[in-house]
Amino acid sequence: MLRSVLRTTCFAIVLIHTATSVFAADSRPNIIFIFTDDHAAHAMSAYGSRINSTPNLDRIANGGMLFTNCFCTNSICGPSRAVIQTGKHSHLNGFRDNGDRFDGSQQTFPKLLQKAGYQTAVVGKWHLGTAPEGYDYSEVLKGQGPYYNPPMLVNGNPKPVKHTGYTTDIITDLALKWLQGKRDPNKPFLFMFQHKAPHRNWQPGPKYLNMYDDVEIPEPDNLFDDWSGRGTAAQTQDMSIRKTMNASDLKLSPPGGLTPEQLAVWNKAYEPKNKAFREAKLEGDDLIRWKYQRYMKDYLRCVASVDDNVGRVLDYLQDAGLSENTVVIYSSDQGFYLGDHGWFDKRFMYEESYRMPLMASWPGRIKPGSVNHNLVSNLDFAETFLEIAGAEIPGDMQGKSLLSLMQAGPVANPAAPPAMTISYSDKLLDCTQPEFRDSLYYHYYEFEADRRTAHMVRRHCGVRNDRYKLIHFYNLGEWEFYDLEKDKREMRSFYDDPQYKEIIAQMKIRLAELQKEYQVPDDTGSVPADPPSNHVEPVKRRPQPKKAA
Ligand code: CA
């Protein structure tokens, strides 16, 4: 009898325990990672944009934490995505530039989340060359994907499914379909909601073709930068509004691939503007000013559609009662030059394309209206997602989870924030922690000496701390050094200024230490000291043509 009671009790305890475990598993938070392409922080009102307003994106910042100093490890599309998948620098995950193809057989965070019982899905831009692995559901653009009428690849099937409409809207429709009906409601999820916009060539949706028509977008103070005071790399790039921006970028003729109805709407908006431009016969600086206006208006029109569509997803989460247990994170694969230095595009370690927007909301866990100035990176995202899900972080991932920063409360006596090219509301609560990371390592690879590569930005590696930045254009044998407190727009390298000699020496040591820590191979710029005078460009790695970034 006693035995029987004991057995029953034990059985009941086991049942309760199992039920508790199941309950605990089910209550783990959902993660929505909203990711765009080339959206610079200084084109978001949460980051003090002077040129546009992003009310829906700001909802994430207002409801959670705004990170002001998030930087990428390699400022270009595919490599940033590969770093996020793996938590490893480009030289280890094998995706160093946009000519590479991602090896999906390696360890990635979605695979680890799957093992931990999460369902995983990605909808939208993927851009890693190979089919997504580690996802229960994937529906992604083929390569870059067009702005209108995108073919989408479902679950790795090479035969695309065609859609008619504006890509930013369609990706959101598909995202909502998955959230509403395709997922298992009994399992927590990781959902990657990834837009093509606002990538070049910035084709606005039908709703916004005339937005900003009567507005003059403020120019950056260095739109007419002549790159003196910096080295060969800045002076020989091919990404200036003056020389590089082409007729397609400027919408002087309509884009291909539109339906007759879409084309009619497009032409109605652009033909009068283009006629006025042709009649004005602009030259010199006036022409640059006009190009800047056309470029920024189209870019910001694309951002406006992203903002609307993020709002649709946030509304859905609220209406479906999912907001409370869902972490929402917004970021973009790198920043972008919005006429800064006279440029568009990215690649350089200079601030505007190096910085990534990053904000995160999680009701009850991240304090609304908080701000963090610690140095963080896309290298940290995989680890963060894993820790949020309560999954183990593998020892070979190279970043640090940001969860402790997200959950830190406001500090009593915050230090003065470091110098930045962006701003934020002074009402935000400063939750910056005294010690997280002293410096970040950077490495850009996409340049081949024997042929033209997209935008011709020379290879470089570098190190940045709260105030200083040291960049090594190792195949040129040139160094640049910036004091962001004295020169936040990076208009002059102080590398040869004797007053910085000691700091530069320390930064070189730190760069070498980081290269060692991150296992950077010797043939990829691991040249902490001055290179020999006969240093030449490396031999080409692959003869294949480069895809657009
Ligand atoms: Ca990008």
Which CATH architecture fits 29-203+292-430? 3-Layer(aba) Sandwich (3.40)
Band the pLDDT of 530: cuts 50, 70, 90: very low
CA of 346 to the centre of ligand 1 (A): 8
- Helices and strands counted in the chain (H then E): 13, 16
CA of 355 to the centre of ligand 1 (A): 12
CA of 505 to the centre of ligand 1 (A): 33
CATH class of the region 440-517: alpha beta
Q: What is the mean pLDDT of residues 398-403?
A: 98
CA of 197 to the centre of ligand 1 (A): 9
CA of 12 to the centre of ligand 1 (A): 55
pLDDT at 529: 43
Given a contact cutoff of 8 angstroms between Cβ atoms, the answer to whether 441 and 515 are in contact is yes
CA of 501 to the centre of ligand 1 (A): 35
- Would you give the DSSP letter of residue 343? B
Band the pLDDT of 523: cuts 50, 70, 90: low
CA of 398 to the centre of ligand 1 (A): 22
CA of 238 to the centre of ligand 1 (A): 17
CA of 46 to the centre of ligand 1 (A): 20
- Would you give the DSSP letter of residue 72? -
Q: Measured between alpha carbons, how far is 262 from 268 in angstroms, rounded to an integer?
A: 10
CA of 334 to the centre of ligand 1 (A): 6
Instruction: Count how many residues are written for the chain.
Output: 549
CA of 73 to the centre of ligand 1 (A): 13
Q: Measured between alpha carbons, how far is 285 from 301 in angstroms, rounded to an integer?
A: 24
CA of 528 to the centre of ligand 1 (A): 28
Is 447 strand, coil or helix?
Answer: coil
CA of 182 to the centre of ligand 1 (A): 29
pLDDT at 204: 98
Q: What is the mean pLDDT of residues 189-211?
A: 98
Band the pLDDT of 408: cuts 50, 70, 90: very high
Q: What is the DSSP string of 217-276?
A: PPPPTTTT---TTS-HHHHH-S-BTTTT--TTTTTSSPPSS--HHHHHHHHHHHHHHHHH
One-letter amino acid at 30 equals N
Q: Measured between alpha carbons, how far is 499 from 140 in angstroms, rounded to an integer?
A: 52
CA of 518 to the centre of ligand 1 (A): 23
**Helices 284-319 and 55-62, axial angle in degrees (round to 10):** 60
Is 483 strand, coil or helix?
Answer: strand
CA of 347 to the centre of ligand 1 (A): 9
Who surrounds ion ligand 1 at CB < 5 A?
Answer: 37-38, 77, 333
CA of 4 to the centre of ligand 1 (A): 66
Q: Which of 373, 545, 515 is nearest to 446 (CA)?
A: 545
CA of 304 to the centre of ligand 1 (A): 17
Phi, psi of 456 (to 5 degrees): 50, 40
CA of 117 to the centre of ligand 1 (A): 31
CA of 199 to the centre of ligand 1 (A): 7
Predicted confidence (pLDDT) per residue in 249-282, tens digit: 999 999 999 999 999 999 999 999 999 999 999 9
CA of 225 to the centre of ligand 1 (A): 23
Q: ∠ at Cα 495 (494, 498), nearest 5°?
A: 80
Q: Measured between alpha carbons, how far is 35 from 129 in angstroms, rounded to an integer?
A: 18
Indicate the domain borders of the chain: 29-203+292-430, 440-517
One-letter amino acid at 243 equals K
| Distant-in-sequence, close-in-space partners of 261: CB < 8 Å, separation ≥ 6 | none
CA of 72 to the centre of ligand 1 (A): 11
Q: Measured between alpha carbons, how far is 53 from 63 in angstroms, rounded to an integer?
A: 17
Least confident residue range of 117-121, 180-184, 275-279, 535-539: 535-539
pLDDT at 525: 60
CA of 516 to the centre of ligand 1 (A): 28
E-only strand ranges, 157-203:
161-162, 189-194
CA of 379 to the centre of ligand 1 (A): 16
Q: Measured between alpha carbons, how far is 247 from 270 in angstroms, rounded to an integer?
A: 13
201 upstream amide cis, omega within 30 of 0? yes
CA of 319 to the centre of ligand 1 (A): 32
CA of 332 to the centre of ligand 1 (A): 7
CA of 271 to the centre of ligand 1 (A): 29
pLDDT at 526: 52
CA of 302 to the centre of ligand 1 (A): 14
Predicted confidence (pLDDT) per residue in 440-484, tens digit: 999 999 998 777 788 999 999 999 999 999 999 999 999 999 999
CA of 37 to the centre of ligand 1 (A): 4
